[in-house]
């Protein structure tokens, strides 16, 4: 059965991505997953970290835009 595509930033919220990432970190730190699964978890963790970063950068840009707009008024 083919792997399901992982959601992109616009398909998953920051909180959900952060929760999934925390769970992956917990699983990896437990040392109880086989190497092949650990590699898959690591790759998914990298995707989730990128999604979180996209959300945070977007929020930062919106805050800066709001500050500039307020300063212009």
**Residue 47 vs residues 3, 18, 21, 69, 71: alpha-carbon distances, Å:** 15, 11, 9, 33, 36
Render 1-56 in DSSP notation, one character per residue: -PPPPPP-GGGS-HHHHHHHHHHHHHHHHHT-S-HHHHHHHHHHHHHHHHHHHHHH
- Whether residue 2 is predicted with pLDDT greater than 80 in this model: the reply is no
* pLDDT band, very low/low/confident/very high, at 7 (cuts 50, 70, 90): low
* pLDDT band, very low/low/confident/very high, at 11 (cuts 50, 70, 90): confident
Rg of the chain over Cα atoms, rounded to whole angstroms, equals: 17
Q: Give the global pTM.
A: 0.77
pLDDT of residue 10: 58
- Tens digits of per-residue pLDDT, 15-72? 999 999 999 999 999 999 999 999 999 999 999 999 999 999 999 999 999 989 888 8
Of residues 11, 7, 14, 5, the one with CA closest to residue 54: 14
């Amino acid at each position: 059965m083919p792997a399901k595509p992982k959601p992109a930033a616009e398909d998953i919220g920051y909180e959900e991505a952060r929760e999934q990432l925390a769970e992956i970190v917990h699983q990896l730190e437990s040392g109880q997953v086989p190497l092949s699964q650990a590699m898959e978890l690591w790759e998914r963790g990298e995707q989730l970290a990128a999604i979180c970063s996209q959300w945070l950068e977007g929020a930062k840009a919106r805050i800066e835009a709001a500050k500039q707009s307020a300063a212009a008024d």
